[in-house]
Chains A and B, each alone.
Chain A
Amino acid sequence: MAEIVLEKVTKRYPDGSLAVRDVDLDIADGEFVILVGPSGCGKSTTLNMIAGLEDITEGTLRIGGRVVNDLAPKERDVAMVFQSYALYPHMSVRENMGFPLRLAKVDKATVDSKVEEAARVLDLSEFLDRKPANLSGGQRQRVAMGRAIVRDPKAFLMDEPLSNLDAKLRVQMRTQISRLQRRLGTTTVYVTHDQTEAMTLGDRVVVMRQGLVQQVGTPAELYGMPRNLFVAGFIGSPAMNFLNASLSAGNLRTPLGDLPLDDGARRALEQRKAPREVILGLRPEAFEDASLARDTGGPVITATVDVLESLGSDAYVYFSAEGGPVTSAELEELAMDSGLRDTGAGTDQQIVARLDAATRAREGAPVELRVDMGKAHVFDPSTGSNLTHPES
């Protein structure tokens, strides 16, 4: 067990392209850190550099206080779980899990007892003599985990370990990984492109884009105080709604109507010399059904419901706002990554609101929505930074 420290870590490929730029990251001993971002953001490259599978072009990497830039993977004492599981097909489950120990020249009795212990923890005892080909996806995944835990490494590195499982199993394995990590207390770096996985698993989450770290924080911080448009749009499901808005005298003129800013936001915008044209970000839960609202503050807007999705616990209401969709490089990239480009959504801006299940909103009928401006975020369209973030 050890802490992992990245200082200005950069990866440049021979053709000059930068995969990872100046990543600074302090991962505490026993911490569960998630690297998340769309494909090609450099998260897997970062993980491979920690594992020693890729060279570090610039910067320093320390594991347990020791600079390991030039050490081979075997000298770093980290274990890795691959997306493909990478089980050795010619070895039985027992041999697969014992492989790292046998390479470390541990005596046979110890290998056997450690493998059996790990198999017990992972519920694999009855499969020890099977070959990977005769296991189900979930079992293979557990064998891959077992191979990582048998040797008590300084850290676990996991590269999208759940993305090959079906949705239900993924949720189960997620809890199991979380429980296992807490029990073993081993520093863990986990790569995923799935923001739900990131939010539910990590002590801290690192959001990356184009090789740059966008924000590091607890899931609550990322959700509540995204530093920029990219983080705001990436974290949360359904995603944050974005609207073009113009500032005038403490009011935001938006396609939904005029929305007054609260005092804190107004001060922050003044201090940072916000431009006139901004982007307003509202999470789906910033709206509530005005007829059910308990407190009476905040502006009320009227919208015509396009689609109503009732989930039992909540109801999602979709409506459109006039005016073209918000354009920014960050949001463009997110849309590309999530395949939103291909849904053929119209030119009007789609807004989603998460309402109490008791709402009387009906498809095609107007509904009055109260907007909680305390949860509003205002972004600078040119830089993408969150102007209402307390410290940016």
Chain B
Amino acid sequence: MAAAGKTHATRWGVVNVVVVLYALFPVWWIAALSFKDPGTLTDGNYIPRDWTLENYRGIFQTSEFTRALINSIGIALIATVIAVILGTMAAYAVARLRFPGKQVLIGMSLLIAMFPPISLVSPLFNIERIIGIFDTWPGLIIPYMTFSLPLAIYTLSAFFREIPWDLEKAAKVDGASPAQAFRLVIVPLAAPGVFTTAILVFIFCWNDFLFAISLTSTESARTVPAAIAFFTGSSQFQQPTGSIAAAAVVITVPIIIFVLLFQRRIVAGLTSGAVKG
């Protein structure tokens, strides 16, 4: 039995190692590239021989990357805040209220979530040029918000449904207006859900490449994923590979930090004790 158990464990261990290697190898590769100096860039080693921070220094020296980083952070944050605020209210309505057209609303938001963004790029490009928000922050914030709202509504309404109805009734009888009941009772209890949603929406905005490349033309609103595509080497004879790798690592790190923070934010069982349990 013990032997069988051991073989079993070994087999699973091997499978796990293979899966982890498979998943992390590209990440390691890009990270390794970012630490290589231009001379050894193409030597085919997966571990840099000469470690250097030259690539990082390089990307932070030009405004090409720093400006894009500011754009990325600003646009993603603003889009997230707006999407979460609107999403919270919409999700509450979806989860709690009965109103005409509710099914249509849910259907529409699902439709938006499923719509291939590429099919909208050309019309959006034209619309934005006509109304003059092409290549501006709002020009990206608005589509990001629109496409992340369904996600926000779906995640949040699931969280709202978990909150017992009785709490709201109790708040009403205790003298709260609907707005107070929402603000003082529902939102604090939905906080883990709001954080989860915010992280998801932020990652969606942060990772987007399609809108960023199509709806911007200059540094004024270009976000990092798009900016990386425009990277050139320090001289025209030099490959920008090192800089691209460094930039990729720089925009991946915040996501990793966010995910770690977000894990801590999921306070499991925040609602335990609200009702008999």
Contacts and interface: CB of A to CB of B under 8 A. Distances in A.
A351 to B, nearest CB: 38
B271 interface: yes
A74 B274 contact: no
A88 to B, nearest CB: 6
A375 interface: no
Interface string A350-372: 00000000000000000000000
A10 B270 CA distance: 39
A100 B189 contact: no
A79 B176 CA distance: 12
A132 B272 CA distance: 8
Contacts of A52: 172-173
B173 A73 contact: yes
A134 B174 contact: no
B6 interface: no
Nearest to A79: B173
A73 B172 CA distance: 6
Given A89-B272, A133-B273, A82 B169 contact: yes
Most chain B beta carbons < 10 A, residue from A89, A131, A147, A164:
A89
A82 B172 CA distance: 13
Interface residues of B, number: 25
Interface string B147-175: 00000000000000000101101111111
A103 B173 contact: no
A100 B174 contact: yes
A84 B271 CA distance: 13
B174 A103 contact: yes
Contacts of A140: 273, 276
Nearest to B167: A86
B172 A84 contact: no
Nearest to A81: B170
B14 to A, nearest CB: 43
A132 B271 CA distance: 10
A78 interface: yes
A85 B276 contact: yes
A84 B276 contact: yes
Which of B173, B184, B275 has its CB near the most chain A CB atoms (within 10 A)?
B173
Nearest to B185: A88
Given A84-B164, A100-B175, A147-B174, A137 B169 contact: no
Contacts of B167: 86, 88
Contacts of A86: 164, 166-167, 169-170, 274-275
A184 interface: no
B269 interface: yes
Given A80-B169, A80-B170, A89-B189, A103 B271 contact: no
Interface of B: 164, 166-167, 169-177, 180, 184-185, 188-189, 269-276
30 contacts: A53-B169, A73-B172, A73-B173, A73-B175, A74-B172, A74-B174, A79-B174, A80-B169, A80-B170, A82-B170, A83-B166, A84-B275, A84-B276, A86-B166, A86-B169, A86-B170, A86-B274, A87-B273, A87-B274, A88-B185, A88-B274, A89-B272, A103-B175, A103-B180, A104-B175, A132-B274, A133-B272, A133-B273, A135-B273, A140-B273
